[in-house]
Structure 1
Amino acid sequence: METTGAPEIDRRGFDQALGTSFGAPAIVVHPVLPGRPSAESRSPEAKLDEIEGLAAAIRLDVRGRELVRLRTMSPATLLGKGQLERVAADVQAHDAEVVIMDAAITPIQQKNLETALKAKVIDRTGLILEIFGERAATAEGRLQVELAHLEYQAGRLVRSWTHLERQRGGFGFLGGPGETQIETDRRLLRDRIARLKKELESVRRTRTLHRSRRQRAPNPVIALVGYTNAGKSTLFNRLTGADVMAENLLFATLDPTMRAIHLPGAGPQGTKVILSDTVGFISDLPTELVAAFRATLEEVIEADLLVHVRDLSHPDTEAQAADVKAILGSLGVLEGAGRVPMIEALNKADKLDADTHEAAIERTSRDPDVILVSALTGEGIEELKALLAERLQSPGEIHEIRLHPSDGKRLAWLHANGEVISQRDDGGAIHLQVRLDAEKERRFRAL
């Protein structure tokens, strides 16, 4: 699907926005906002580490980091006067061209901060949008990223369109103020958002069609979910033999990738399933991205089984797991009618010390839905495959069925209502192995 009417996302614009190419000097600032619970699930230092990792994901050269504890939030600059002076001194000391604020800032705060700090200022949402804009590889991904950006910019109007004079460039979506026709720009924003939503609705319908075809096959779908950089893509590659991008970067994967694999089971090749690698989750994920990536997240909603991939070596693994479960809960897949079964794959066993590794093994012995693996070394992978096959096991017995080639109606019924384990055509007849429960077997015989 091609998109039209919007400036192309490219690296050159990003270079213009930062005033240099890769390696633009930057500092990151994490404001500890007032009114937050005293015992947060993550320490402020861990949040600072995460925003530094996000900056590294677009190859910024992070030269300094500041933890700023706010007593009150300034409506003009978020930071207090003394804190602003301290950050400005840090900017000057490191010759920083970019300041990343690990918070949501208003347009007026962004403008005032840029004036005071004499540097480009990006907030958390803007930074994640930058990463998504750089990484989106498919037409669908680009549509979703552009929609998320426009929803984000709708209240800011800091972007220049192609018919206006551009005063400040920007990779992807962090453009400049240079708007002289505000009403025209608002209309363009509304029109473009409406067109993107229509195109994404078309993507959603296509996905629904593809899912219905898979269900008729039927091939169960397993979706890998988890915090960004938990190792989902490495595990996907290990299970499928694919070469999906898997780097030690936050949001290395944005576009969903699907591959067929065979799990242990009846039949010469085992049980065929579809494995889906999905976008990673993160704390404080911008609402614009959650809404825009609905089509992608539907792969999670419609899955037959979820594998929650966790980085057990990360110091904040429990907090990350809580963030993932909160997002899954908002999608309605953890309880109620839309509940999808889920197992936990405790990944990166190769990075654990002996005591932690032993504790993880002990935990898996207590909980049958938890397994310890290393996607990098292969530890636990065969056990994971066996567990997946067990969880997807359908009730019922395997029946040997022979059909005439002209009996298309009964063949279609079996594919729609049973689990076709194998199918062989010898020219004069179709031989199938099909798993059917007692009720479906009775209905089939009555056809």
Structure 2
Amino acid sequence: MRNLHGNTHGLKPNQLRRIEKLYQRRIPPREILTAEFARQLSELSHETNRQIGALIDRKGYVEYVIVGDARRIELPDFKRVRVAGDRFRGLRCVHTHLRGEDLTRDDLTDLALLRLDLMAAIDVDERTGLPGLVRAAHLLPLTAEHLDSNGAARSFGFLDANVPSQLDVDFLALMEALESEMARNRRNRRQSSKSDQAILVNVSTGHITDAEDSMAELRELAQSAGVVVLDEIIQRRTQIDSRTVLGKGKLDDLLIRAMQLSADVIIFDRELQAAQVRSISDATDLKVIDRSQLILDIFAQRAQSHEGKIQVELAQLKYMLPRLVVGQNSAFSRLAGGIGGRGPGETKLETDRRRVRDRIHRLEKELSSQAKRREQRRKERLRHQVPTISIVGDTNAGKSTLLNALT
């Protein structure tokens, strides 16, 4: 018999055995649940005064049984089990609600972040323990065109609440239709652009107008780097979260939006600390870069001279050294290649700290010798009275474009 998950402390042996028997049940694949299974869940939940849930695969087998408390259940952590961007996890969650409430924010967040097929809650009659209405929701496929001017969109589709015996939904057909649309949206985006697809994030403690101006500049930088901007999120906070920058609720919204839009990368409009990058990347399983890294990527794309390429590589390595984490499962292993990982230094990002330091030392020596040669050329220009002209301007103002036009 497989193990129970969650809050089993204090349950009687007889109750534990009956809950474990849920693993022996099988639901017809095209049904969300049966009336008999709903009744079994409800009676156990009523008797123990705890929410009880099951994760059921598409063949109808019960893969996990979870026991919660009176208010919620905590689902197993699937974050390291990767799921294709155009598919759900292949598991639906069916659990009980003891207070007759609608699907909660926690329910919907679990649905989105764990990429579940469906989240269903069965009302338990407080007097009889019999099942009442079943409320269910699923994720909706989303494209950037579906966002309104405020970046809002419907994230979830809700089925009509009904008693278990009258749930008239072909579950497999519903999943097939949703995944087909997700795959079509993803395919269309890939065909229209081979570039990285990003969500831009600004978290500020200042005025919203300043944040909007900074976001506009970040958008231009991202476009200069060849990034397709799918969405922009601005959050104003009294204090920046030291761990994840964003607040928990906004981070959950970001994860849901990134998953629905099939984003590849999240770009923050501020410099991130190494621990923040790790926390956000672990939560999202996406590449996370900040404003400084985006600018370095632009330099890497446009560096032409040998000295320029050395300078870009040196800047990248110095930036990454304190953030470097060895191992294929680290947050920074996702930075190899693409936006934030281009240029001469991209193959060095997965090396250990000692090799990076050695490389930095060699590049600095090479730059020093380049500087000496440049100084010699400068003296020759001064001796021959060659005029010097400087082009000065803000970031992304068009300095390089002007120089290229003049030369």
User: TM-score w.r.t. structure 1 length?
Assistant: 0.42
Q: Which protein has greater RCO, CA pairs closer than 8 Å, 6+ apart? A: 1
Instruction: Please give the TM-score of this superposition, normalised by the length of structure 2.
Output: 0.46
